[in-house]
């Protein structure tokens, strides 16, 4: 059943996110051809500025909508009129939460790949960047591997894991706050927003207290980098579990569709 829910969420999200990312790619390719042909030299500066403004607005909209879609979808699909149908399915609450979390991670990965590819496509139109890119990539990779005292593949694996966990943590914190907001009969969105602010403040204070408790300000640079990465990994994992458990409890035990 979990697989069916994941496919359902991916199909629903694809109706919005797939055309948006396709439009961004097409605009990027058009921009690459535009730069390759040196057409910017023949276009009035005002019109050229409008083109760049439109492109960066599209880029921003793509990233923002990808980040916000599954938060909106979580609320709409489980706590509005659609919730009456969704909660009659033979699937426990944790499956609904897990399917939306997995869908969110998948689309964030797609978004990162597409946006990164678009940036590289445009930047490679400029020969200085194209010439310097291989050396820059080797420098960044070597520095991170040295700072973390890991082999390059270990560094890459750790960075990818932290990236995925950061998506889960931010998404699950929003899911938890929405689940808190649905406890109220009125002003649910406002209640969820207030819950998010309160949760963010609590987590920020807890993180600051932890950093002071372990004495990060007295650590050497290399120790600090390694410890911060590992602490971030552990804290993200713990927060993900706590957020998931709290959301599952509220959805399964305290569901309010009125």
Distance between CA atoms of 234 and 236, rounded to whole angstroms? 5
Task: Please tell me which residue, 236 or 106, carries the higher pLDDT value.
Answer: 106
- pLDDT recorded at residue 83: 80
* Bigger pLDDT: 165 vs 232: 165
pLDDT score for 61: 92
pLDDT (average), residues 87-116: 91
Per residue in 154-166, pLDDT (tens digit) is 666 777 888 889 8
Q: How confident is the prediction for the chain on average, in pLDDT?
A: 82
- Section 203-213 average pLDDT: 75
Do 234 and 169 contact (CB within 8 A), yes or no?
no
pLDDT at position 225, please?
54
State the pLDDT confidence band at 85, using cuts at 50, 70 and 90: confident
**HEC sequence for the chain:** CHHHHHHHHHHHHHHHHHHHHHHHHHHHHHHHHHHHCCHHHCCCHHHHHHHHHHHHHHHHHHHHHHHHHHHHHHHHHHHCCHHHHHCCCCCCHHHHHHHHHHHHHHHHHHHHHHHHHHHHHHHCCCHHHHHHHHHHHHHHHHHHHHHHCCCHHHHHHHHHHHHHHHHHHHHHHHHHHHHHHCCCCCCHHHHHHHHHHHHHHHHHHHHHHHHHHHCHHHCCHHHHHHHHHHHHHHHHHHHHHHHHHHHHHHHHHCCCCC
């Amino acid at each position: 059943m979990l697989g069916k829910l994941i496919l359902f969420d991916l199909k629903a999200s694809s109706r919005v996110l797939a055309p948006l990312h396709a439009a961004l790619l097409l605009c990027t390719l058009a921009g690459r051809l535009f730069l390759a042909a040196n057409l910017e030299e023949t276009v009035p500066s005002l019109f050229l500025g409008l083109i760049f403004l439109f492109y960066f607005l599209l880029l921003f909209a793509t990233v923002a909508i990808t980040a916000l879609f599954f938060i909106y979808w979580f609320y709409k699909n489980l706590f509005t009129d659609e919730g009456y149908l969704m909660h009659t399915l033979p699937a426990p609450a944790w499956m609904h939460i897990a399917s939306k979390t997995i869908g969110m991670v998948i689309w964030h990965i797609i978004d990162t790949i597409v946006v990164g590819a678009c940036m590289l496509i445009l930047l490679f139109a400029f020969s200085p960047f194209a010439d310097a890119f291989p050396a820059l990539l080797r420098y960044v990779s070597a520095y991170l591997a040295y700072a973390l005292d890991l082999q390059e593949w270990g560094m890459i694996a750790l960075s990818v894991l932290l990236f995925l966990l950061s998506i889960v943590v931010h998404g699950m914190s929003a899911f938890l706050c929405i689940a808190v907001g649905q406890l109220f009969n009125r002003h649910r969105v406002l209640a969820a927003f207030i819950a998010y602010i309160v949760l963010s403040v609590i987590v920020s204070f807890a993180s600051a207290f932890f950093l002071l408790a372990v004495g990060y300000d007295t650590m050497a640079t290399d120790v600090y980098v390694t410890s911060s990465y590992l602490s971030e990994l552990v804290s993200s994992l713990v927060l993900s579990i706590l957020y998931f458990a709290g959301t599952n409890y509220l959805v399964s035990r305290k569901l309010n569709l009125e």
